[in-house]
């Protein structure tokens, strides 16, 4: 009964609402209603681009279902900077926040359903719903912390350590994306990752033998 009361009108918004409530338990039903007004559901087929270099990124998109990759084009090659699956936000925040053309791409790796909020609507919410600023602050702080982690890992860990972390932190990644994309994400060539894997694997075998 209680749960029904908290369910958003549109069932497709339930995950996003739960996410907001988690970050901001004081969020009122009334304020949620204001927010709900501006949400849009959108779907992307596998392979479709959600963010494109050169275009201003106008939405933050919360993934209900699916998987995307974020990448830059560097000398004609794609350099993957991250993957994003269910219950996470897709956005080129650099473009979104600065209102400048994106220099990244986001592409659906699977058919993907998202809940969008546009930049203008978000600013409207910040004005109408003061506590949204607190939510916005917490989301920005969270993004910053994530970026710190990534940076630290990139700079101070060996590639083997980072490879192990990837497969232990996101075991689903290995099932859902080809290895050469993980190589790109780690910042090495597919050949190098293949060699590292065989090194790691052989070391494990010899440990068992000894």
Partner DNA sequence: TAAAGTTCTTAACCCAAATCAATATTTTTC
Partner DNA sequence: GAAAAATATTGATTTGGGTTAAGAACTTTA
To DNA, the closest distance from the beta carbon of 199 in angstroms equals 8
Pick the closer one to a second copy by CB: 48 or 141.
141
Q: How would you label 61-73 residue by residue, b for 16+ Cβ within 10 Å and e otherwise?
A: bbbbebbbbbbee
Hey, which residues does 78 pair with through a beta bridge?
A: 73
Partner from DNA, a second copy, none contacting 151, C-beta within 5 to 8 A by type: a second copy
Partner from DNA, a second copy, none contacting 159, C-beta within 5 to 8 A by type: DNA
Partner from DNA, a second copy, none contacting 189, C-beta within 5 to 8 A by type: DNA
* Binding map of DNA across residues 175-204, x = CB under 7 A, - = no contact: ---xxx------xxxxxxxxxxxx------
Of the candidates 15, 72, 119, 180, which one interacts with a second copy according to CB under 8 A? 72
To a second copy, the closest distance from the beta carbon of 14 in angstroms equals 25
Sheet holding 105-108, edge to edge: 49-51, 105-108, 67-74, 77-85
Please choose, from the candidates 112, 31, 25, the residue with its C-alpha nearest in 3D space to the C-alpha of residue 68: 112
* Residue ranges binding DNA (CB under 7 A): 158-160, 178-180, 187-198
């Amino acid at each position: 009964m209680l749960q029904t009361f908290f369910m958003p009108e549109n069932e497709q918004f339930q995950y996003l609402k739960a996410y907001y409530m988690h970050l901001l338990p004081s969020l009122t039903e009334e304020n949620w209603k204001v927010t709900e007004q501006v949400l849009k559901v959108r779907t992307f087929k596998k392979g479709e681009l959600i963010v494109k270099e050169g275009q201003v990124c106008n939405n933050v998109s919360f993934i209900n279902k699916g998987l995307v990759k974020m990448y830059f084009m560097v000398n004609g090659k794609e350099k993957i900077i991250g993957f994003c699956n269910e219950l996470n936000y897709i956005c080129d925040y650099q473009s979104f926040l600065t209102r400048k053309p994106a220099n990244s791409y986001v592409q659906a790796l699977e058919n993907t359903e998202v809940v969008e909020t546009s930049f203008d609507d978000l600013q409207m919410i910040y004005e109408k719903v003061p506590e949204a600023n607190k939510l916005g602050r917490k989301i920005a702080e969270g993004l910053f912390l994530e970026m710190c982690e990534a940076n630290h890992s990139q700079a101070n860990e060996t590639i083997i350590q980072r490879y192990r972390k990837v497969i232990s932190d996101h075991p689903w990644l290995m099932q859902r994306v080809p290895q050469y994309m993980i190589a790109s994400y780690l910042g090495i060539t597919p050949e190098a990752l293949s060699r590292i894997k065989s090194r790691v694997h052989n070391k494990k075998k010899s440990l068992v033998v000894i």
